[in-house]
Amino acid sequence: MKTIFVKPQSMTKKWYLIDAEGKELGKVAVEAAKILRGKNKPEYVPHQDMGDYVIVINAAKAVMSGNKGEGKIYYHHSDFIGGLKAVSYNNMVAAKPTFPMESAVKGMLPKGALGRKLFKGLKVYAGADHNQAAQQPVAVEL
């Protein structure tokens, strides 16, 4: 058995389009993270960027099952005393429609330099319009 290592120069990256309208946020995020990581390819290795680019449209129209709309809370801290802020999913979608999708996908990627590099391949749009039409993305069905 011989291990095959693919050089980054020799691989071509494809573009994929995921429509999140009416689909669960977590299921869309899982599929996007798999494609970004490259787990859908036979030459996948965990320590290299083997993934492709992902465009997620209609991110504001992704749904959460059950009572997660009010129960899912996003926290951040201002580093001042008493500076903990908590925002529910519904309020976050109203304020920053792409943040929940980006946050979900980012949490599924590896931590560190590789994860930051992979995350740059994700483009999230709140509506149906996107700027990557020239790349001719392949639609992904969930």
Q: What angle, 0 to 180 degrees and rounded to 10, lies between the N-to-C axes of helices 99-108 and 25-37?
A: 50
In contact, 53 and 123? CB cutoff 8 Å: yes
Question: Each residue of 111-122: pLDDT tens digit?
Answer: 999 999 999 999
What is the domain count for the chain? Answer: 1
For residue 137, give every residue at least 6 positions away whose Cβ sits within 8 Å of its Cβ, in sequence order, or none: 15, 16, 17, 53, 55
The answer as to whether 19 is a domain residue is yes
State the CATH number of the domain containing residue 110.
Answer: 3.90.1180.10
The answer as to whether 84 is a domain residue is no
pTM: 0.92
pLDDT at 112: 97
Domain around 104: 15-63+96-140
Once rounded to an integer, what is the mean pLDDT over residues 20-34?
97
Beta strand segments in the chain, E: 15-19, 53-57, 73-77, 84-88, 122-124, 138-140
Helix (H) or strand (E) holding 7: none
The answer as to whether 130 is a domain residue is yes
In contact, 115 and 109? CB cutoff 8 Å: yes
